[in-house]
Structure 1
């Protein structure tokens, strides 16, 4: 069900509950019924006029990333990474070229650099897995975006479609095999180091790792 449908259902339920209060008050005096009806009308009106916060496609992708993959980065950093990804896909850059430049070292905080640097060699192994696993989906997005460009869709539309497709990909079913393979690629000592120093690098515990 869409957000619009859910909102309409919620408003309808609120109005029905308010109207039910009026019906229940029917055994009271006319004045009480009138006051109840006025209150119900004002409550419903307030709900209808209350501004709704809509989540943008990019923010949805950010939220999914932080829920299912990593909490290492801030929303602002993830926004830059997503923009860079969308820009690279729009420019038809190969995944390997894009992947290596998604975030610059000077965009990271000192604490983030410490987390990444303490992983050492295991991080290199992790990146190898990520490259192999994510490249096919990156290429699928690229095909979609190139088709949109060919049909003269705007750059903004192409960017939003990229964010939507990233969000669709970020599911537990897709992420679990990736993190499991990363763990399998590491020695016991490397895994202990990553697990101890990189708990925010990837959300291992969410997948029982």
Structure 2
């Protein structure tokens, strides 16, 4: 336990945004209709050769979620780091932990490089001291929006995994189902409303501070922000 130290809130911004669109609008029907096996098959892509009969490369549900995260949300984390974030998310949901507890422990300092920690420290300092906020830092406001939006969807996802456990599904199957739901809901249509609400919760100066100084953490420009 001593080597797992939560990172400052700035680094959680990208991970929390990832979590928010993973859970947002996660419908029970669509989740139930996608078995881990079906998801693995649906994410199969052809090998570089077009010749029939050759082995195809299988992309796992987790790798598909990682790829979409890097395309739509953030390139700050490596594949290995995103894998750990997704595993931690799935583990917390499987253990039926409260959202706040899961939210605050997605990343640990020993999972980040020295250069990543330096970027985080710089951004954290700027957002806390140079935003001109008198009613809480931009990160505090952003996290409050995310937690409020996430709560009902986190409960729905937890119920789905609890139902799978009651049906004697394996832990691996439950984890894969989390990755499947991530992939299904990781779209621009789900991300945009979350970003819009974050922006509207901040003053103009606070938003510019988050947008400019957080550019290394999140792909804001993909959404015209």
The alpha-carbon deviation at position 136 of structure 1 amounts to 2.2
Tell which has more relative contact order, 1 or 2 (C-alpha 8 A, sep 6+): 2
Residue 59 of structure 1 deviates from its aligned partner by 0.7
| Equivalent residue, structure 2, for 1:74 | 78
For 1:172, the equivalent position in structure 2 comes to: 188
Q: 1:108 to 1:82 in 2, by over 3 A?
A: same
Change (3 A) 1:161 1:6: closer
SS at match of 2:55: coil
- Alpha-carbon distance change, 4 to 65 in structure 1, aligned in 2, over 3 angstroms: closer
Task: Identify if the C-alpha distance between structure 1 residues 105 and 6 changes in structure 2 by more than 3 Å, giving closer, same or farther.
Answer: closer
TM-score by length of 2: 0.69
Instruction: Work out whether residues 43 and 59 of structure 2, in 8 Å CA contact, stay in contact via their aligned partners in 1.
Output: no
The answer to whether residue 108 in structure 2 is matched with residue 104 in structure 1 is yes
Structure 1 SS opposite 2:52: helix
Q: Per-residue deviation at 1:70? A: 2.0
2:198 to 135, 160, 182: 182
Change (3 A) 1:95 1:7: closer
Match among 48, 62, 65 for residue 58 of structure 1? 62
Mean Cα deviation higher: 92-101 or 108-117: 108-117
- Residues 11-22 of structure 1: matches in 2 within 5 Å? none
Q: Secondary structure at the match of 2:106?
A: coil
Residue among 127, 135, 138 paired with 2:151? 135
For normalisation by structure 1, the TM-score amounts to 0.74
Between the two proteins, the alignment pairs up a number of residues equal to 174
Q: Which residue of 2 aligns with 1:32?
A: none
Unaligned runs of 5+ in 1: 12-42
Task: Measure how far apart 1:129 and its partner are.
Answer: 1.6
Highest CA radius of gyration, 1 or 2? 1
Is the contact made by 2:43 and 2:61 (CA closer than 8 Å) also made in structure 1? no
Which ranges in structure 2 are unaligned for 5 or more consecutive residues?
Answer: 1-38, 129-136
Q: Which has the higher helix share?
A: 1
